Structure 1
Amino acid sequence: DALVLAHLPAGAAVDLRNPADVKSMLRRVGVDVPDTRAWRLEAMREVHPAVEALLQWRKAERIATTFGHQWLDEHVHGGRLRGAWSSTDGAAGRMTAQAGLHNLPAELRPVVRADPGWVFVQADLGQIEPRVLAAVSGDRALVQATRADDLYRPVADRLRVERPIAKVAVLAAMYGQTSGTAGQALQGMERAYPVAMQYLRDADRAGREGRELRTFGGRLIPMYDTIAERDDEPDDGAVDDRSVSAALAARGRYARNASVQGAAAELFKAWAATVRARLAATSARIVLCLHDELILHVPETEAEHAAATVTACLDEASGRWFRGTEVRFVTDVQVVRSWADAKG
């Protein structure tokens, strides 16, 4: 607390966890705010150094509360961070994890280090979802774009827009965003990649209608009921037409995204399984596989071989899983000593 209190008159007593005390403290230094919500204080960082100090204190407090002694006692054993992990969670079937494996703050990542004489081989799948969309839809123009290391560059050229706008357009198509810059860019997507867009529309329509879908690999994606569909005896006017329409649109977006994310999750798992099999005779071991990220703990003398194997296994797994599609998948592989380096 001292770094915040240093900006107050000597002897001032403030409970930084009490919003009323914090509001009074800020008023004393000339910062009058209706409340102390983070978004409001963020805009006032430059007004007084006490605001910046308070925001830094809150960040440190959250880390200390979430990742303090109790977290260490529960999840760190024998020098290893061990959190609950699920191989298939949610509609997309992606891997999920807890205890910081999914969202460890950047300030703590340096403590996740390889053993002496060992390193981490970390690999991220690059632009995985648009590449998967090319594979599952069979859109020849989008397949051709995957030949590039940066898929968004040829998409931008085809749409005749800047790369950032092309990226927005591709992601908006998969996530069902239709307004603003995304809406304008989507018009170009419809002309440039009609097969991929039709695939997404079909998934969206199935979601709106409440029909079940299956991923490329055959896994069932069940549709949930909207509030209106769950209510057998709705009160008159309780659910208006606008609410019903919004709920169905949301389910459509859920379906179009799950159909792509689900196939991406299947490829990731096939890749991870292939890596494990191909490195079984070595000392390398997978220590984390989550979403699009694979991390191996490897003796330093085996790092070069392991890194090359990870890349080769992606070619093998994608060639087997999406046989005949000619889609190119890429991965960024790094050899690092701490998780912070991998995230950098």
Structure 2
Amino acid sequence: MVTATSESAAAVLCVEMEQHGLPIDRAALESLIEASAGPRPATEADAARGRRERDQPVLRLVPGAEHTDLRNPVQVRALLASVGIDVPDTRKWTLTPYRDKHPVVEALLGWRKAERIATTYGWHWLATYVETDDRLRGPWTACDGGAGRMTGGNGLHNLPAELRPAVAAHEGHVLVRADLGQIEPRVLAAVSGDAAFAAASRADDLYAPVADQLRVDRPVAKVAVLAAMYGQTSGAAGEALRRLDRTYPDAMAYLHRAYEAGLRGDAVQTFGGRRVPMWQGPLTDAQRAGRGRFARNAVIQGAAAELFKAWAATVRLELARLDGQIVLCLHDELLLHVPREHAEQAVALVHDTLGAASRRWTGGSTVRFVADVTTVHRWSEAK
């Protein structure tokens, strides 16, 4: 019932966020776009000139490559091969290991960032989606993808970090940014009913007591816990993973059951009751294992999305008395737009509602959930 109520409230929140929009500092946004895309083009000839200017820092590093089309992956691979870099594709993670081999790789990675802003978040995007009241608006979906997260369109959900300084509170207001901390392991403790793991969640840093129990360093404990939820069973944290099975048997059994269901192709169900089907058809052993890993993570990611929406719904209800608005829901992060005089109350509200929402969602679990909350003028100022 709690999940059904929060899902409905999330749908209402989506409608409200579409109406409110995300507050934007237009002058800052124009400056940031110009830094990447060049001046606003008045004609197609201006736009073509801007593209050539963006390309030059890359092309000048490879003699004879003046006519390479950087928007053509085949030609980019040929350019890289001419300086001794043979890669199967031009994706960021493929190119990154070659940064020190030739300066053209670093230049190309920088070009990709600028090109993305120019083509996806450039002048046309600004004119189309940032309205005259300096609000970025787009459609919101209350339950999207395998995890059932809230997602937004028109750049609301994947705005490049380079443009975040332009997301700024309007006059007389502040932004309150709240980000759930270590949400996935805390959710695992709650949904599995593992008392020992729940005890670890009472620490500000859950991984510290887990490391003590496993007799490993904190970084190894963190890798082991995340690997367990994502289905990894070997590697540097292999021994720590085996100790997880002995130390937190209920939490690990919960993950193992989801994995086995995925191997069989059976649908899994989140803590709140949402059914997550598995893809069917003839599969190789590797594909079946991938399906198992997907199921293992789906029950955690899906439950985390349910908790987040229960929290967001509670914040929305309480925030009305402060004349504030939720203007963004991004993964496990809330962004509030609040009158400056109510900033401290809004911060306290966010913490209080997290405790109340998590208790209702879990049915009274002793698992502790935490949020990092900061008051800022620009979104980019939040750490």
Report the TM range for the smaller structure's normalisation.
Answer: 0.7 to 0.9
Q: Choose from 102, 117, 132 the match for 2:187.
A: 132
The residue correspondences of 1:261-272 to structure 2 (distance < 5 A) are 261-272=301-312
Deviations 1:128-166 (A, max 9, x none): 111111111111110000010000010001000111111
C-alpha deviation, 1:13, in angstroms: 5.8
Task: Check whether the contact 2:77–2:90 (CA below 8 A) recurs between aligned residues.
Answer: no
3-state SS of the aligned residue for 1:268? helix
Structure 2 unaligned regions, length at least 5: 1-54
Change beyond 3 A, Cα 1:138–1:11: closer
In the other structure, the counterpart of 1:89 is: 144
Change beyond 3 A, Cα 1:92–1:11: closer
Task: Check whether the contact 2:202–2:367 (CA below 8 A) recurs between aligned residues.
Answer: yes
Q: Choose from 42, 49, 63 the match for 2:117.
A: 63
1:109 correspondence with 2:164? yes
Worse-superposed segment, 208-217 or 127-136: 208-217
1:306 correspondence with 2:346? yes
Q: How many residues align?
A: 326
In the other structure, the counterpart of 1:233 is: none
> Scaled by the length of structure 1, what TM-score is found?
0.86
Q: Distance in 2 between matches of 1:310 and 1:115?
A: 21
1:37 correspondence with 2:90? yes
Q: Choose from 207, 227, 234 the match for 1:152.
A: 207
In the other structure, the counterpart of 1:235 is: none
Change beyond 3 A, Cα 1:82–1:141: same
The residue correspondences of 1:1-344 to structure 2 (distance < 5 A) are 1-4=55-58, 7=61, 15-17=69-71, 31-34=83-86, 37=90, 41-78=95-132, 79-221=134-276, 223-228=277-282, 243=284, 245-342=285-382, 344=383
Q: Distance in 1 between matches of 2:173 and 2:224?
A: 42
Structure 1 unaligned regions, length at least 5: 229-238
Q: Distance in 2 between matches of 1:21 and 1:173?
A: 41
Counterpart AA for 1:163: R
Q: Distance in 2 between matches of 1:285 and 1:314?
A: 17
Q: Distance in 1 between matches of 2:376 and 2:273?
A: 37
Deviations 1:81-126 (A, max 9, x none): 1233211112321112233222211111111111022111000011
Deviations 1:192-211 (A, max 9, x none): 10011111112222222233
Q: Distance in 2 between matches of 1:255 and 1:155?
A: 24
Task: Check whether the contact 1:226–1:248 (CA below 8 A) recurs between aligned residues.
Answer: no
C-alpha deviation, 1:280, in angstroms: 1.3
Deviations 1:285-332 (A, max 9, x none): 100113200110011111111011010000111111113321110000
Task: Check whether the contact 2:144–2:151 (CA below 8 A) recurs between aligned residues.
Answer: yes
In the other structure, the counterpart of 2:13 is: none
Counterpart AA for 2:348: A
Change beyond 3 A, Cα 1:341–1:22: same
Of all paired residues, the percent bearing the same amino acid is: 59
Deviations 1:179-229 (A, max 9, x none): 2124332101001100111111122222222333322222222x234221x
3-state SS of the aligned residue for 2:259? helix
Q: Distance in 2 between matches of 1:143 and 1:340?
A: 33
Q: Distance in 2 between matches of 1:140 and 1:216?
A: 17
Change beyond 3 A, Cα 1:205–1:11: closer
Change beyond 3 A, Cα 1:209–1:299: same
Q: Distance in 2 between matches of 1:305 and 1:277?
A: 14
Task: Check whether the contact 2:142–2:151 (CA below 8 A) recurs between aligned residues.
Answer: yes
Task: Check whether the contact 2:266–2:278 (CA below 8 A) recurs between aligned residues.
Answer: no
C-alpha deviation, 1:171, in angstroms: 1.0
C-alpha deviation, 1:75, in angstroms: 2.3
Higher helix content, 1 or 2 = 2
Task: Check whether the contact 1:120–1:337 (CA below 8 A) recurs between aligned residues.
Answer: yes
Q: Distance in 2 between matches of 1:47 and 1:295?
A: 41
> Scaled by the length of structure 2, what TM-score is found?
0.77
Q: Distance in 2 between matches of 1:204 and 1:20?
A: 39
Change beyond 3 A, Cα 1:53–1:199: closer
In the other structure, the counterpart of 1:236 is: none
Deviations 1:32-89 (A, max 9, x none): 4346835565444445544433332232112211111232233222311123321111
3-state SS of the aligned residue for 1:121? strand
